[in-house]
Amino acid sequence: METNEKKQVVLSAIQPTGTPTLGNYLGALKNWKNMADDYECYYAVADLHSITVRPEPAQLRRKTLEMYAFLLAIGLDPEKNTVFVQSHVSAHAQLGWILNCYTQFGEAARMTQFKDKSEKHPENVNVGLFAYPMLMAADILLYQANYVPIGVDQKQHLEITRNIADRFNGLYGETFTLPEPFIGKTGAKIMSLQEPTKKMSKSDTNVKAFISVLDDTDTIVHKIKSAVTDSEARVHYAQGKDGVNNLMTIYSCCTGKDFAEIEKEFDGKGYGDFKAAVAQAVVAELAPVRDEFNRLIADKSYLNACMEAGAQKAARVANRTLRKAMKRVGFYQL
């Protein structure tokens, strides 16, 4: 029964394709944590999505457990929020298939992630990569999510989700809630440290391009020191200064200072001082997550128990929506 006190629903997911980066953390995970108290939250490790890049099986298994531990390490309470692994809830794949049939080839072909990832992995442009947005739509719609905290790169996928849901509702009557993206003001797109016109990605093969949540202090200092900047040697936010803009964004997210304050702080100083300060701010931001991760990853049986309980909670909600959608489409019910 719907009551006025019912909390709004939030869903988001992250692929176990690597260790979360500073980009994932500032663009998505930090908001996941911030929303955890005020919303009914469903957070998933998107392992079904990650096989589009064909990970080595042992690696996929290990990364899935690790990503799950990260979600708890950022401070999510598995009792209060539903934290689960996508492949443990079969409704995702089932609704994903159904939604494929309510999506036009042309609209899926416009997705920039498909184009980018096809270019990055020309040897494996599989149909799963193409169908990614419809599976993502299923992830979201199964929980009747109101908000989806994501980085800017996923905005287009949220738009297609809304279009698919709207089309389905139009054909069969209200079935799915139309979700809104929740994108933070700063940090929604952290760029690569080496190619600051491209987003930071955990699956990047150049490890100097990203800061991982597990990097130690020396590594963080070193990576930020070698981040690409420009020859102007002046800390200010401006068009064409992608590298500096990115470092300013990172510094702003970690310290809460705005760009004007940052410009003043580093007035008359060079990039050396600025980079040292950025590195210290990043270290301070990530250290608690890293420590908590190291504690949790040593306790596999606790993680397994949380995963199992999370999958059961998620499946109850997801199966309800799946049954409703299947009935509407006309599948024979026993």
Among 9, 19, 21, 310, binds ligand ATP (CB under 6 A): 21
- State how far Cα 38 lies from the chain centre: 19
At its nearest, how many Å lie between ligand ATP and the CB of residue 10? Answer: 12
Compute and round to an integer the Cα radius of gyration of the chain.
21
Closest residue to ligand ATP, judged by C-beta, is 27
Q: Is 27 in the site for ligand ATP (CB under 6 A)?
A: yes
At its nearest, how many Å lie between ligand ATP and the CB of residue 264? Answer: 26
Q: Is 15 in the site for ligand ATP (CB under 6 A)?
A: yes
Residues 6+ apart with CB under 8 A from 113: 132, 133, 153, 154, 156, 157
Among 9, 11, 17, 143, binds ligand ATP (CB under 6 A): 17
The C-alpha atoms of residue 324 and residue 267 are separated, in whole angstroms, by 60
Edge-to-edge order in the sheet of strand 180-182: 82-85, 40-45, 9-14, 147-149, 180-182
Q: Which residues are catalytic?
A: 117, 199, 202
Q: Which stretch binds ligand ATP (CB under 6 A): 2-10, 166-174, 186-194, 221-229?
A: 186-194
Please give the structure tokens belonging to residue 81: 């929020």
Q: Choose between 180 and 232: whose C-beta lies nearer to ligand ATP.
A: 180
For residues 66 and 34, the answer to whether their CB atoms sit within 8 Å is: no
Question: Helix, strand, or coil here: 148?
Answer: strand
At its nearest, how many Å lie between ligand ATP and the CB of residue 188? Answer: 6
At its nearest, how many Å lie between ligand ATP and the CB of residue 37? Answer: 20
Tell me which residue of 42, 45, 43 sits closest to 61, measured CA to CA: 45
Beta strands in 69-133, from DSSP E residues, in sequence order: 82-85
Q: Is 245 in the site for ligand ATP (CB under 6 A)?
A: no
Q: Is 179 in the site for ligand ATP (CB under 6 A)?
A: no
Among 63, 202, 223, 241, binds ligand ATP (CB under 6 A): 202
For every residue of 198-229, DSSP letters joined together read: SB--TT-S-GGG--BTT--HHHHHHHHHTS--
Q: Choose between 132 and 266: whose C-beta lies nearer to ligand ATP.
A: 132
Q: Is 158 in the site for ligand ATP (CB under 6 A)?
A: no
At its nearest, how many Å lie between ligand ATP and the CB of residue 136? Answer: 10
Q: Is 64 in the site for ligand ATP (CB under 6 A)?
A: no
Instruction: State which of positions 246-305 bind ligand ATP (CB under 6 A).
Output: none
Specify which residues 45 forms β-bridges with: 14, 85
Cα dist from 276 to 236, 260, 286, whole Å:
16, 19, 16
Residues contributing to the site for ligand ATP (CB under 6 A):
14-15, 17, 21, 23-24, 27-28, 150-151, 153-154, 188-190, 199-203
